[in-house]
């Protein structure tokens, strides 16, 4: 008996999902072409398998009945990134957002633009 399918996204599945989030809807061939244009050469069969897996995991839904099959995301980038970040905070930082922030700050200094965005976000949090 095999392992149950993981609900998380692998690195390659996430590459494919980014294409769907940019395009909204696409075929496996269109995804392969866009990845190749960005320097990520993948075989068509690899992309088709990843699309099928993503549909099985319910990250994609097929939108037509004739070939080539078209798919669109069932979950937004914001929803998936929020979930992945929450999982990362729980698994790596023991649920501590503070530890994540400290680690981020130790990695590289904020640019003035990043600092301004962070300060604006924090001000919004303080406003009732």
List the domain boundaries for the chain. Answer: 1-95, 96-128
Looking at the chain, the whole-number percentage of residues with pLDDT higher than 90 is 78
Average pLDDT over every residue of 44-58: 97
Integer Cα distance of 53 and 86 in angstroms:
23
Instruction: Give residue-wise pLDDT tens across range 65-108.
Output: 999 999 999 999 999 999 999 999 999 999 999 999 899 888 88
Q: Thinking of the domain 1-95, which architecture would CATH place it in?
A: Orthogonal Bundle (1.10)
The pair of structure tokens assigned to 24 is: 């909204």
In angstroms, rounded to a whole number, what is the distance separating the alpha carbons of residues 60 and 78? 15
CB atoms within 10 A of CB 8: 11
Residue 54 has pLDDT above 60, yes or no: yes
CB 11 within 8 A of CB 84: no
What tokens were used for 64? 């037509």
pLDDT at 1 over 60: no
Residue 3 binned pLDDT confidence (cut-offs 50, 70, 90) = very low
pLDDT at 6: 56
Convert the pLDDT of each residue in 99-117 to its tens digit: 998 998 888 888 999 989 9
Beta bridge partners of 73: 60
| Band (4; pLDDT cuts 50, 70, 90) | very low
């Amino acid at each position: 008996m095999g392992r149950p399918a993981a609900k998380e996204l692998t690195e390659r599945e996430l590459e494919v999902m980014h294409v769907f989030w940019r395009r909204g809807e696409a075929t496996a061939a269109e995804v392969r072409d866009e990845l190749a244009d960005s320097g990520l050469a993948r075989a068509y069969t690899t992309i088709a398998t990843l699309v099928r897996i993503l549909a099985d995991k319910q990250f994609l839904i097929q939108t037509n009945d004739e070939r080539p099959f078209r798919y669109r995301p069932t979950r937004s980038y914001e929803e998936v990134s929020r979930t992945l970040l929450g999982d990362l905070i729980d698994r790596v930082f023991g649920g501590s957002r503070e530890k994540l922030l400290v680690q981020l700050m130790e990695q590289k200094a904020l640019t003035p633009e990043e600092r301004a965005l962070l300060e604006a976000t924090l001000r919004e949090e303080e406003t009732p």
